[in-house]
Structure 1
Amino acid sequence: MDVWCDALGSWLETTIGELSVSASTTKPTTSSASYGGDGEWLQTRPGEKCCIRVPAVDTGGAYSVVEIVSTPGDSTPMHIHSNEDEYFIILEGTALIALGDKTFDAAAGATIFLPRNIPHAWGNASNSSLRFLGICTPGGVEDALRVIARGGVSDLVAFSAKFGVEIVGPLLIQPEGHSPQ
């Protein structure tokens, strides 16, 4: 786990820019697990749950890290972030990614950069679960996930706009029997 955390910290520093990332060199004397953030799994839509691993408040707003688990057929609509860049690290499964006018698969081990102001979406077109880390820089948009999970959103388009996210197209993966609108 320490090697993975060190590697992620190094990747964040070189990919995202100079961040204040510190890691403890003290090793625990007993088995333990550390889950950043509140560690609570949030159900954000029927096919998606997420856990805020590193909230922006813990990084001075520099970045946030969210773990997402997606069931087969789940996807986001095409959307644009105006405030943050996103980085995905695919941990398990395969993500279907739409970025601008390109669509591609990203299998476990892949890292994807989704720059702000470029339309994008992701989905799980496979028959197995998809698990990945979503890293946003700067952080803050993860606060929307808490509100969505509490059921406090009646108008997703208007709500998203409050966080600098514009929905610009249909779901990447359409439920069976539905066509894009």
Structure 2
Amino acid sequence: MTATKGFVVPAGGGKHLDMTTPGRFAALKLLGHETNESVMLFEETVPVGTKSLFHLHRDSDEVAWVLAGEITFKIGDEVTVGGPGTCAFFPRNVPHAWKSTGRETGRVLFMYTPAAAGGYVEDLLKRPGPINDDERNKLRERYRWEVVGPNPL
């Protein structure tokens, strides 16, 4: 689909994706094919202690906007803690990680531009259930995610 006109995703709208951690899920709001691959956007609910891998994206920049809770970000060598309203930018090819470190469940809006790296998250929607580590690694490779190591936070 080529984006030739705008559209609205209502509150509570989007495609729902259950993640591997209990209580962790995502609402996919803008999919790459809907935006002519310009952006991919999703809101993720992250219980306290939830964390990403220490990773980078080869083909996309990433933005994270904290909506609720407290999130600690590591971007390259810098570590920053932010609450609601905090915005983080992860340039492509720069290792980064995050962790929900507050006292309450966090909510974060993530955006990839261009949408390439978001294909990983979108592809998880197509799976009938949980995937094994080998399948997950193949998906990361396909969408040019590189795991640098365990989350240092």
Query: TM-score when scaled to structure 2?
Result: 0.83
Residue 151, structure 1, aligned to residue 151, structure 2: no
> Aligned partners of 1:94, 1:20: CA distance in 2, in Å?
37
The one of 118, 123, 133 aligned to 2:109: 133
- Offset of residue 105 of structure 1: 0.5
Give the match's secondary structure for 1:140: helix
Match of 1:164 among 131, 135, 144: 144
Corresponding position of 2:45: 69
Taking the aligned partners of 1:167 and 1:105, their CA distance within structure 2 comes to 22
Q: Is the 8 A contact 1:56 1:62 kept in 2?
A: yes
Residue correspondences, number: 146
TM-score (norm 1): 0.71
Q: List structure 1 runs of 4+ shifted beyond 4 angstroms.
A: 19-24
Write the deviation string for residues 38-86 of structure 1: whole angstroms up to 9, x where unpaired.
7232112215211110111111000011111100110011001001000
User: 2:65–2:87: 8 Å Cα contact kept in structure 1?
Assistant: yes
Q: Distance in 2 between matches of 1:95 and 1:81?
A: 20
What secondary structure sits across from 1:141 in the alignment? helix
The CA deviation string for residues 19-53 of structure 1, in whole angstroms up to 9 with x for no partner, is: 988478xxxxxxxx7259x7232112215211110
Name the amino acid aligned to 1:94.
E
Question: What are the Cα deviations for residues 109-130 of structure 1, in whole angstroms up to 9, with x where unaligned?
Answer: 0111110000001110122111
| Higher RCO, 1 vs 2 (CA within 8 Å, ≥6 residues apart) | 2
RMSD over aligned Cα atoms: 2.5
Matches within 5 A, 1:1-181: 22=6, 34=10, 39-47=14-22, 48-148=24-124, 150-155=129-134, 156-173=136-153
| Cα distance in 1 between the residues matched to 2:5 and 2:99 | 30
- Unpaired segments of 5 or more residues in structure 2? none
Distance in structure 2 (CA, Å) of the matches to 1:35 and 1:59: 19
Can you list the C-alpha shifts for 1:112-163, whole angstroms capped at 9, x where unaligned? 1110000001110122111011010001333322444632343233431211
Task: Give the C-alpha shift of residue 103 in structure 1.
Answer: 1.0
Q: Quick one: which amino acid aligns to residue 125 of structure 1?
A: T
The percentage of aligned residue pairs carrying the same residue is 22
Structure 2: distance between partners of 1:172 and 1:128: 21
Q: d(CA) in 1 for partners of 2:25 and 2:120?
A: 13
Aligned mates of 1:23, 1:85 — CA distance in 2: 23
